């Protein structure tokens, strides 16, 4: 079965996977519009999280390979940055059409490499596709400003110009959406791009490269390298790379922000989270509990915007048993099985870490209302599955609260008043997202104004903004000053040139030098 399945996968994606039926196929790089086999002797096994079978081997690219990707991007920049904005727009139109047509294929690859359910994987692609759709408005988005008559016969205007070679470093949890937050925005502004996808699931990025080529992006405009720390250090230090977009863990994000900034680059760095859902007693009970369960356990909790902590205010605490029953009914299975509500975690190490954090909560006094740690899935006994797990009476000092769990675990807390709930939320160092569930407008308004979190939902559990806005996580969840996509994304990927010009007739020409500032 494994061999047959592997042949099918390689058959669909033969352009980026080596065609080798007897052994494990290797994942290629993408440089100058060609899929290139690495010459490295260091390979990273990529496992299907539902079975732990090796799907492909991902190279740790050699120094020469990394250099050749940056050289391709650098050499492509002069011509690409001078391409007309209408040409770049037309390529984006074609790319968005191709992504739509390849949605199922991308989703199948994501489920194979990352583990999430097929439907959720399509959502992963869709949310990235929306960024490409937004890029199609580049003719309005990249407009500068003008002010005529700034002085006599003098006008000032600005251009938003590309900055050069940009780089993107992405996490495992959204293999299509997060790369699509980066390279389409970069290239539509006239930059070139070098992407380093997560070594745990680079397949979707490579399928997207095939689509970019088909859409008409010239060679070198977007390239893909692979690897871990060495490749990341290379990106941070390379003088030809002008900007880095990073999404991932705190540890890597802070490091990349500091190292990249130190070598003079712009860096935008989206990092970890602890998102709270505040449940008021006046909320609509049924829809609130459904929202909480979906947002805590969907994608096995491996979303930076997962609602991982629920705060029940006042009498809302009486709903906790019903919440537990809803969570218990979720079906855990391999992502390609049609009945799966949630799939496996990315790796055995991730499962071990999640289980240990749950145990640390129990050991420090939390009450385990639902325990999914020992779940076994028939036919997928080797998978990294953890079922929905709920810890109640969690307090802010517990390790399960201070650390991001990134698994299907909901922490539950109680608060007497809205003010108490806001205090808990604002004392947490992260500021990625939060939601309040209420039917009272004044309560909702107070919460949205007083909570110190970058993205707030009112009866919306996962308030990720669409690309006409920006992804505005704050405090410990973000480093940098321009967020991903939307207006801020355009600002990140462009630099402003301000031109002041004077055109004056012969009769008004000045006949003596001015040695003072104009007064
Ligand atoms: P990760 O930090 O392990 O990996 C992200 C990228 O950084 C990968 O490409 C990896 O190769 C590289 N990397 C990993 N460790 C590194 C190190 N020490 N030095 C240099 N590079 C390193 O993250 P992950 O486990 O793939 O993703 C999960 C994390 O991403 C979670 O913390 C989640 O909250 C976060 N995330 C945040 C957002 C957001 O928008 N805030 C979105 C998605 C995921």
Residue 228, ligand 1, Cβ within 6 A: yes
Share of the chain above pLDDT 90, in %: 93
Residue 308, ligand 1, Cβ within 6 A: no
Q: What's the complex ipTM?
A: 0.98
Q: How far away, in angstroms, is 237 Cα from ligand 1 center? A: 19
Indicate which residue's Cα is closest to atom 22 of ligand 1.
Answer: 252
- Please state, in angstroms and rounded to a whole number, the distance separating the CA atoms of residues 453 and 425: 8
Q: Which residues make Cβ contacts (< 8 Å) with residue 23, sequence separation at least 6?
A: none
Residue 199, ligand 1, Cβ within 6 A: yes
Q: How far away, in angstroms, is 269 Cα from ligand 1 center? A: 10
Task: Give residue 1's pLDDT.
Answer: 40
Q: Classify burial at 150, counting beta carbons within 10 Å of its beta carbon; exposed 0-12, middle 13-18, buried 19 or more.
A: middle
Q: Which of 168, 172, 194, 249 to mutate to test the pocket of ligand 1 (most atoms within 8 A of CB)?
A: 249
Indicate which residue's Cα is closest to atom 14 of ligand 1.
Answer: 252
Q: What are 136's two structure tokens?
A: 């199609």
CA atoms within 13 A on the CB side of 32: 10
Q: How far away, in angstroms, is 235 Cα from ligand 1 center? A: 15
Q: How far away, in angstroms, is 498 Cα from ligand 1 center? A: 37
Q: How far away, in angstroms, is 454 Cα from ligand 1 center? A: 19
Q: Which residues make Cβ contacts (< 8 Å) with residue 81, sequence separation at least 6?
A: 161, 162, 190, 191
Residues of the chain with pLDDT under 70: 1-12, 19-22
Query: In ligand 1, which atom is closest to the CA atom of 406?
Result: 31
List pLDDT tens digits, range 331-353: 999 999 999 999 999 999 999 99
Indicate which residue's Cα is closest to atom 40 of ligand 1.
Answer: 270
Active site residue 304: yes
DSSP class of residue 330 equals P
Indicate which residue's Cα is closest to atom 42 of ligand 1.
Answer: 304
Q: How far away, in angstroms, is 253 Cα from ligand 1 center? A: 7
SS3 213: helix
CB contact at 8 A, 367 and 263: no
Residue 252, ligand 1, Cβ within 6 A: yes
List pLDDT tens digits, range 188-232: 999 999 999 999 999 999 999 999 999 999 999 999 999 999 999
Residue 27, ligand 1, Cβ within 6 A: no
What DSSP assignment string belongs to 275-324? EEEEE-TTS-HHHHHHHHHHHHHGGGG--TT-EEEEEEEGGGGGGHHHHH
CB contact at 8 A, 16 and 7: no
- Please state, in angstroms and rounded to a whole number, the distance separating the CA atoms of residues 331 and 142: 46
Task: Give residue 518's pLDDT.
Answer: 79
Which ranges constitute the DSSP H helices of 145-228? Answer: 177-188, 203-215
Task: Give residue 23's pLDDT.
Answer: 83
- Please state, in angstroms and rounded to a whole number, the distance separating the CA atoms of residues 13 and 208: 11
Query: In ligand 1, which atom is closest to the CA atom of 471?
Result: 40
Task: Give residue 11's pLDDT.
Answer: 62
List pLDDT tens digits, range 74-88: 999 999 999 999 999
Task: Give residue 6's pLDDT.
Answer: 57
Q: How far away, in angstroms, is 271 Cα from ligand 1 center? A: 7
Indicate which residue's Cα is closest to atom 26 of ligand 1.
Answer: 171
- Please state, in angstroms and rounded to a whole number, the distance separating the CA atoms of residues 100 and 176: 12
Averaged confidence pLDDT in the chain: 96
Task: Give residue 486's pLDDT.
Answer: 97
Residue 198, ligand 1, Cβ within 6 A: yes
Name the residue among 224, 208, 231, 225 with its Cα closest to residue 99: 208
Residue among 212, 304, 355, 451 flagged as catalytic? 304
Torsions phi, psi for 224 (to 5 deg): -130, 130
Residue 304, ligand 1, Cβ within 6 A: yes
- Please state, in angstroms and rounded to a whole number, the distance separating the CA atoms of residues 380 and 440: 46
């Amino acid at each position: 079965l494994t061999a047959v399945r592997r042949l099918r996968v390689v058959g669909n994606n033969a352009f980026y996977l080596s065609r080798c039926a007897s052994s494990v196929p290797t994942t290629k790089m993408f440089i100058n519009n060609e899929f290139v086999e690495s010459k490295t002797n260091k390979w990273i096994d990529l496992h299907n999280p539902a079975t732990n079978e090796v799907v492909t081997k991902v190279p740790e690219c050699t120094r020469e390979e990394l250099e050749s990707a940056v050289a391709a991007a650098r050499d492509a920049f002069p011509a690409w940055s001078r391409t007309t904005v209408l040409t770049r727009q037309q390529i984006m139109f074609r790319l968005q059409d191709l992504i739509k047509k390849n949605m199922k294929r991308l989703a199948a690859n994501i489920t194979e490499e990352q583990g999430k359910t097929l439907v959720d994987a399509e959502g992963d692609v869709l949310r990235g596709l929306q960024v490409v759709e937004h890029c199609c408005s580049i003719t309005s988005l990249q407009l500068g400003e003008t002010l005529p008559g700034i002085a006599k016969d003098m006008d000032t205007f600005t251009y938003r110009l590309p900055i050069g070679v940009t780089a993107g470093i992405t996490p495992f949890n959204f293999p299509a959406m997060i790369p699509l937050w980066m390279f389409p925005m970069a290239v539509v502004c006239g930059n070139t791009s070098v992407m380093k996808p997560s070594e745990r699931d680079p397949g979707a990025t490579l399928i997207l490269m095939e689509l970019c080529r088909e859409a008409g992006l010239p060679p070198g405009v977007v390239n893909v390298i692979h690897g871990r720390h060495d490749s990341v250090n290379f990106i941070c230090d390379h003088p030809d790379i002008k900007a880095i977009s990073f999404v991932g863990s705190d540890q890597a994000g802070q490091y990349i922000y500091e190292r990249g900034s130190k070598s003079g680059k712009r860096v935008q760095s989206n990092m970890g989270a602890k998102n709270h859902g505040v449940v008021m007693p006046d909320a609509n009970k049924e829809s609130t509990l459904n929202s909480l369960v979906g947002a805590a356990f969907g994608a096995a909790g491996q979303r930076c915007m997962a609602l991982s902590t629920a705060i029940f205010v006042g009498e809302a605490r009486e709903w906790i048993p019903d919440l537990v029953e809803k969570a218990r009914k979720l079906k855990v299975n391999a992502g390609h099985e049609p009945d799966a509500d949630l799939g496996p975690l990315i790796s055995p190490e991730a499962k071990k870490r999640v289980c240990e954090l749950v145990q640390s909560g129990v050991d420090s006094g939390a009450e385990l209302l639902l325990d999914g740690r020992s779940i076994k899935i028939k036919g997928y006994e080797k998978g990294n599955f953890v079922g929905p797990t709920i810890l109640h009476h969690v307090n802010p000092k517990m390790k399960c609260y201070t650390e991001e769990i990134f698994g299907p675990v909901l922490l539950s807390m109680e608060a007497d008043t809205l003010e108490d709930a806001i205090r808990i939320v604002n004392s947490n160092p992260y500021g990625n997202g939060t939601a309040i569930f209420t039917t009272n407008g004044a309560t909702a308004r107070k919460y949205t104004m007083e909570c110190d979190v970058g993205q707030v939902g009112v009866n919306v559990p996962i308030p990720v903004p669409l690309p006409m806005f920006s992804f505005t996580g704050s405090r410990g969840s973000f480093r940098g000053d321009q967020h991903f996509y939307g207006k801020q994304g355009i600002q990140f990927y462009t630099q402003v040139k301000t031109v002041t010009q004077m055109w004056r007739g012969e009769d008004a020409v000045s006949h003596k030098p001015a040695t003072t500032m104009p007064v």
